[in-house]
Chain A
Amino acid sequence: AQSVTQLGSHVSVSEGALVLLRCNYSSSVPPYLFWYVQYPNQGLQLLLKYTTGATLVKGINGFEAEFKKSETSFHLTKPSAHMSDAAEYFCAVSYSGGYQKVTFGTGTKLQVIP
């Protein structure tokens, strides 16, 4: 069975500081990994995804994540936080194949302090 664990339900950073949101996955087969962002009262929006190939994945809004198989991690980073980054972030895992059931983590709420 596949699962993801997001470390820290709430993360606070100062505006301009590094954003680091942690995600570890468990999958018995090579995973597909995703980060989604959810703004208040909105649905989830895909930030980035890893399927195969390059392990450093760049997404929208300056975010990137690195797939580290040895650490079973897929942490999300952004060099400099903006106020507009305040939202909830979900890590998710799936696997290759015709049907990809996506399993979501419990989310990390990012607060950006001016």
Chain B
Amino acid sequence: EAGVVQSPRYKIIEKKQPVAFWCNPISGHNTLYWYRQNLGQGPELLIRYENEEAVDDSQLPKDRFSAERLKGVDSTLKIQPAELGDSAVYLCASSLGGVAGALRTDTQYFGPGTRLTVL
């Protein structure tokens, strides 16, 4: 079974430029998460989707960040414009969610991440 796929793996851009990250979750997983991991820190949740609905985006800086999951499968996270402080690893994770997820601990499976460097 394929894991969570993310691309690109690395991205270097200049500040004020836009950037986008793509995530394809594990097949059958209804819940999708985007996390940001700063150097030396644990991941911090940016947004969570249940199918195509963003059910928790309270930590997403909405002035410059946006995300979508139009068909309830893969997702895109965008930053426009990027700032120096956005340099971090952006992790995507997925879990079963839905009824199946509610019946047991809904383990999150992480992708390898995209390492963003803003110059």
Contacts and interface: CB of A to CB of B under 8 A. Distances in A.
A49 interface: yes
Interface residues of B, number: 26
B40 A106 contact: yes
Contacts of B102: 98
B42 A104 contact: yes
Most interface-central of B48, B55, B93, B106 (chain A CB within 10 A): B106
Contacts of A104: 42-44
30 contacts: A9-B40, A36-B110, A41-B9, A41-B115, A42-B113, A43-B4, A43-B93, A43-B110, A43-B111, A43-B112, A43-B113, A44-B91, A45-B110, A46-B107, A46-B108, A46-B109, A51-B105, A90-B43, A94-B105, A98-B101, A98-B102, A99-B55, A100-B106, A101-B56, A102-B45, A104-B43, A104-B44, A106-B40, A107-B40, A107-B42
Given A44-B43, A98-B102, 9 more contacts: A32-B105, A41-B9, A42-B112, A43-B4, A99-B48, A99-B55, A101-B45, A106-B40, A107-B40
A9 B93 CA distance: 24
B42 A106 contact: yes
Contacts of B93: 43-44
Nearest to A94: B105
A65 to B, nearest CB: 15
B42 A105 contact: yes
A106 B9 CA distance: 22
A41 B89 CA distance: 9
A42 B110 CA distance: 9
Interface string A83-98: 0000000101010001
Contacts of A107: 40-42
Interface in B90-119: 91, 93, 101-102, 105-113, 115
Contacts of B45: 101-102
